[in-house]
A and B are shown apart, each in its own frame.
Chain A
């Protein structure tokens, strides 16, 4: 490799990578960045595959619930009330005599919708506001930080009961709006911190010394280097937002019947937990697996994006 050696000799170091291995992998080396490295790591992580499969399956059943659940979740017959699992109805029936399997499958859509909508909203609002506060500092930062302090001061469940009870028919969009409203300050803090760290780097000063404007500094230099913690936190938050939706529905202020949701089912099943534990077990299990899958995915992404672990 003649081309490698001449520059290396100039610097008096043998042509090796940082970890000291020789440099034969020039082909794979072509255009590596943190993202390609992270993807390379993820593809070798079984946790990433398992959590991704669970999430893909969830997305699939929330788009086409009919593909695996053939009965209508709203077609109930009181004669079946609290019947346990059987060959024809694997998850049994609930209090109203509805098929728990069908309700669990159909409930995924609302949960996934709330989770995705709130996460996208929180990520956009939080990273834009937090990023601007961190970048410009001064009075903008002071105002945004104090506003987010105020939102931090509101206990999310109390806020949910007060805010959502004002809207009689709880729907996916109202619940998501509420979660975005109370969720963005947390992400804004993370984004603000990441931007402050990134903007003090020498390469940002170097770009400024070249005459780069705010737009270029933010989009080309700061945002790409501040994005990792935002992505990781969002992945983990998605799971907690889904469980928050279930919690609010359980309290009777989130989604409301006849909407089908894990939270509603958990709520109604909890009254009969001694007589018919299967009514609680299946929706609660689905919720736990979903939240776990998103948290594991976030964990895997965090490890992959952390260069110190490489």
Chain B
């Protein structure tokens, strides 16, 4: 286990640069002809620092889960790099990739499909040790599995049970234990609580925070629930149609959003206080998300944006700190991909 690294050490553990994933659209059965591509992820860059949680939010189909799969090398990236400790993992294969997998693990969205129904809990959590036998000697494995069950708050005696004998929250704990087995440094959580009841969500989130402190983990936390992301994240990235719209500390995103899409998202967060609810402005976006197979030119959000002008159609805004905020000392100085970035007072998530 590594020593806990303070968040302040600003050497990123994972650097993602210009990540692209296009799924080809083909015609024909025997002689395939490419007629287009679904641009699921189209140039995403961000850093992950040791010990921090980076939240990634966005609506369905914006490419969040594809980013997770690319980071895990479960999909082959069309272009771009993912540097883990200076090594581009998108180009790795075989033994080198297997070694990196020890340090980057994943927790899946649906606890009902992410556990093999024909394997016992002991086999599921012990499988990482079968694949990486150097992590735990053979005689030690059963004990390690029981320790892991204990760590995630499950009874170690459940080792011989099958997944269908557990509730959703318990299953997700099993999934977390499997992710922890190899002592990874990074855990990518692809909507780990969205399939759970609200009461169970909080327990799983708290468990994940506890484990982060205990094992000094870095999380990439993908979700569509803005409140949960705010609760767990140190930094947040907002994705729209395969691109990062805005990224910054959670104070920057939630209290000083400058990208119109983020502002619209935040204005949709339920506010428990009826007083505050009356005073806030709801931004209702018109239209639907355009097809990622044929995204709009320039800024991808322009078709639904109330600020859109000719420039937005011609020139793609870059993800950078807007010039007008460059000198600001408040969190408003954060990267935002908008030509007309400005602060707007929306009542943020509770």
Inter-chain contact B108/A202, CB cutoff 8 Å: yes
Interface assignment of A44: CB less than 8 Å from any CB of chain B:
no
Knowing A12-B169, A12-B197 touch, does A33 contact B162 (C-beta < 8 A)? yes
Interface assignment of B310: CB less than 8 Å from any CB of chain A:
no
In the docked arrangement, what's the CA distance between A210 and B165, Å?
Answer: 24
Inter-chain contact A206/B106, CB cutoff 8 Å: yes
Inter-chain contact A208/B74, CB cutoff 8 Å: yes
A2 closest partner in B (C-beta): B155
Chain A residues with CB under 8 A of B279: none
A212 closest partner in B (C-beta): B131
Chain A residues with CB under 8 A of B155: 3-4, 6-7
Binds B, one of A24-32, A267-275, A294-302: A24-32
Knowing A202-B109, A205-B108 touch, does A32 contact B165 (C-beta < 8 A)? yes
Chain B residues with CB under 8 A of A201: 113
Chain B residues with CB under 8 A of A208: 74
Knowing A202-B109, A203-B113, A210-B128 touch, does A7 contact B203 (C-beta < 8 A)? no
Chain A residues with CB under 8 A of B118: 33-34, 224-225
Knowing A210-B101, A210-B131, A212-B127 touch, does A203 contact B157 (C-beta < 8 A)? no
In the docked arrangement, what's the CA distance between A17 and B158, Å?
Answer: 15
Count of chain B residues with a beta carbon within 8 Å of a chain A beta carbon:
48
Chain B residues with CB under 8 A of A67: none
Inter-chain contact A34/B117, CB cutoff 8 Å: yes
**Contact flags A205-240 to B (C-beta < 8 A → 1, else 0):** 111111110001000110011000000000000000
Chain A residues with CB under 8 A of B200: 11-13
Interface assignment of B85: CB less than 8 Å from any CB of chain A:
no
Inter-chain contact A210/B182, CB cutoff 8 Å: yes
Inter-chain contact A18/B164, CB cutoff 8 Å: yes
In the docked arrangement, what's the CA distance between A221 and B199, Å?
Answer: 32
Interface assignment of B115: CB less than 8 Å from any CB of chain A:
yes
Chain B residues with CB under 8 A of A202: 108-110, 113-114
Knowing A12-B197, A202-B108, A203-B116 touch, does A209 contact B72 (C-beta < 8 A)? yes
In the docked arrangement, what's the CA distance between A11 and B152, Å?
Answer: 12
Chain A residues with CB under 8 A of B132: 210-211
Chain B residues with CB under 8 A of A146: 30
Inter-chain contact B170/A7, CB cutoff 8 Å: yes
Chain A residues with CB under 8 A of B164: 18, 32
Chain B residues with CB under 8 A of A30: 160
Interface assignment of A142: CB less than 8 Å from any CB of chain B:
yes
Inter-chain contact B157/A3, CB cutoff 8 Å: yes
Closest CB in chain A relative to B181 CB, distance in Å = 8
Inter-chain contact A205/B115, CB cutoff 8 Å: no
B95 closest partner in A (C-beta): A211
Knowing A202-B110, A205-B74, A208-B74 touch, does A7 contact B153 (C-beta < 8 A)? yes
Chain A residues with CB under 8 A of B227: none
In the docked arrangement, what's the CA distance between A212 and B126, Å?
Answer: 13
In the docked arrangement, what's the CA distance between A76 and B131, Å?
Answer: 67
Inter-chain contact B131/A7, CB cutoff 8 Å: no
Knowing A6-B155, A146-B30, A206-B175 touch, does A13 contact B167 (C-beta < 8 A)? yes
Chain A residues with CB under 8 A of B197: 12
**Contact flags B64-105 to A (C-beta < 8 A → 1, else 0):** 000001001010000000000000000000000110011001
Closest CB in chain A relative to B197 CB, distance in Å = 7
**Contact flags A1-43 to B (C-beta < 8 A → 1, else 0):** 0011011101111000110000000000111111000000000
11 A/B residue pairs, CB under 8 Å, sorted by A: A7-B155, A142-B30, A206-B106, A206-B108, A206-B114, A206-B178, A207-B116, A209-B101, A210-B105, A211-B131, A216-B130
CB-contact partner of A207 in B69, B109, B127, B157, under 8 A: B127
Contacts of B251-298 to chain A: CB distance below 8 A: none
Closest CB in chain B relative to A207 CB, distance in Å = 7
